[in-house]
Structure 1
Amino acid sequence: MNVRRLIPTAALAASVALGATALTACSGASAAGGGKDGKLDVMASFYPMQFLAEQIGKDHVKVSTLTKPGVEPHDLEITPKQTAQLGEADVVLYLKTLQPAVDKAVAQSGVKNVVDAGTLTDLEVHGASGHDHAHEGEGEAGHDHGHDEGGKDPHVWLDPAKYAQIAKGVGAALEKSDPDHGADYRKNTDELVSKLTALDTEFKDGLRNTASKTFITTHSAFGYLAERYGLDQEGISGVDPESEPSPARMKELQALAKQENVSTVFFETLASDKTAKSLATDTGLKTDVLDPLEGITDKSQGADYFEVMRSNLKNLQKALGAN
């Protein structure tokens, strides 16, 4: 228990957890968050959760993230120090099944006010033409995320409409934890949702007329995006960006590329581009970046979620022959 000083009445109100579970006064807003600034201390599991907390919380929150820039989120390992920090946070935002290490640490931390983004929208099962789950059963190394949840795809933030639903839930959670600033959280949520709605329209309009509907990517993270905008995702190696595809799968993709008029093989910034480049060489295709936005680094094609998503849209338009 982390009692650093007496907590003012306003902060006691902030310590009511989601689901009517009362937080103890010792983890209220002013005991955490450095003790002096009175900000709501939010711990995000990785970049898409961090971005929501920062955009909605603005000056009222202090946001930390478990996944540092440049770390592939699926590979994250949690230190005992980070588990302890989780226990001191006022609110934890994460996406269950995406990062098994985070799921475990959240369970161990005993933190009361936990928001699982997967419960704020509908998760679906996606297959890259049945190949998304070809690597099931590989255990931790195979990142069979979500297979305990029936193989549901966790990459919801790549669909702006679903990300907007999550934003609304996160806004409500911050308001519940810090009712004194509720009006600001609501205003910031509305602003973010309208920006995401505009982005959704840009994608709809930008991908409406394309010469091809099929794109090939190393990391099958784009099932929601493909479904939203009427495209077909073909993953080289399923949900794990690092796993090696079988020779049979490579052969199948070569045939598919010819048949579907595919021009480009996409890879991402946080994982190796080796398989994308070898497939492209074998088939005479180009390579380009399609970023699953699991983290922002200096290699990212943009400084935040919106900039990188717009780069993704441009790269898709170019690869699919949009007019």
Structure 2
Amino acid sequence: MSPGLNSIFLEEIRSQPEVLARRLESGWAEVEEVAARIRRQRPAALLLAARGSSDHAATYAKYLFEIRNRLPVALAAPSAFTLYGSPPRLEGLAVLAISQSGASPDVAAVVEEARRQSRPAFAIVNERASRLGRAADVVVPMGAGRERSVPASKTYTASLLCLAMLSWALDPDPDFRAAIESLPCAAAAALESDAGRLAEAVEGRRLAAIGRGYHLATAQEVALKVTETSYLLAEARSVADFMHGPIAAVDPELPVLLLEAAGPARADMRRLGRRLEEQGVCVLRIGDRLRPEARSVRVRTGLPEALTPIPFAVAGQLFGEPLPYVKTT
């Protein structure tokens, strides 16, 4: 990525507190309408459709809705609807699509098929007038404005915000609502985390990003940002999956980024970190309970674990942004 393009990416990263605040100020009417329709329909599960960064948002949604709302979630295989022309029966399901542009034919086809089968279909999208926006029963706008950088930043965190708002609307709780309202401040704090300095420790052409639970999505998104900005081969894994096979391929030339949020998954992340360090691996950490050190960054969030993927994503973007300069100096 050229320095000019990367400077635009950095500008977009820095705009996220304002984008999140603007989305909150625009109101909750759309998410409350989606929640009301879901409650009326009482679907057995929610089918999510997405591509790219939005697919990572869908991973977050899977954990969010299943843990907080006890609503089963499945991820659609959009190619079944388009390439193979054999969409599944959607009886008993509600469909939620997530897309920055709303122009992906695969994602729009899932919503259009849901409408053909008389199933409720909703969309979280940045472009309301897109094919996806036109197809959905109700559109929840991201309100992020035009994404000028090829690596998405503000539309990703805006989509996570919309999902958190929908989770609250399905099961209102004053503490969770207050935490959502504080997300712009948490994103601003993440901008002060100095996560970009971790890039200096990355050598070679590979990187592993590891998370679990809510932060599997963060690992996926950080790996994509690293690949898009610096052309490293970055792969995301759940710590549980990583320990059952891929860890055998680890060597001192493979830096590993661990996403350590306070919660049930942190103990597993700590155990993995110790094991990797014993093998001489360069272990980098982003977490909310860490001591700031040369290879670790603390992101002060003050949030419940379910909302930490937003400030963690901001820190992950800051980590990926300077990598092209580090790799060429």
TM over 0.5: no
TM-score interval, smaller chain:
0.3 to 0.5
Q: Larger helix proportion, structure 1 or 2?
A: 2
Higher-Rg member (1/2) = 1
Q: Which has the higher contact order (CA 8 A, sep 6+)?
A: 2
Give the TM-score taking structure 1 as reference length: 0.40
